[in-house]
Amino acid sequence: MSTSEEKRQIIASRIREARRLAGLSQGQVAKMLDLQRPSVTEMESGKRAVAAEELAKLAEVFDVSVAWLLGEGATKLDAQDDRLHLAARELQKLKSKDLDRLLTILASMRDQEKKP
């Protein structure tokens, strides 16, 4: 396996791990990134390169650093982080339409934080 292929696999596994710990489906992540679900599947399998802009969005969605997604730092997210567990449990309880509304609200909040 080449160095670039190894790097792609590290990124793929970290995206998959962060998504699962966040309690999100590939479809939900795709919607948040304005992508099709197969694109997320390909990212998580290492079959698709992830653009810098996508890495930045994924880091925001999963509340991790881009550096961590790139393979730096601890090899695993702290699965004992109470905030992650609480968020995942609560997200699993939501109906699909309510989760979609919540994701829209979260995106709006992030957009407001970026404004000067």
CA-closest candidate to residue 96, choices 28, 19, 46, 29: 28
Residues 6+ apart with CB under 8 A from 104: none
Domain containing 66 — which CATH number? Answer: 1.10.260.40
pTM assigned to the model = 0.64
- Give the total number of structural domains in the chain: 1
For the segment 88-99, what is each residue's pLDDT rounded down to a tens digit? 777 777 888 888
pLDDT in tens, 63-83: 888 988 998 876 556 555 656
User: Cβ(62)–Cβ(32) under 8 Å?
Assistant: no
Provide the residue range defining the domain that includes 78: 3-114
Instruction: Report the C-alpha gap between 105 and 10 in whole angstroms.
Output: 31
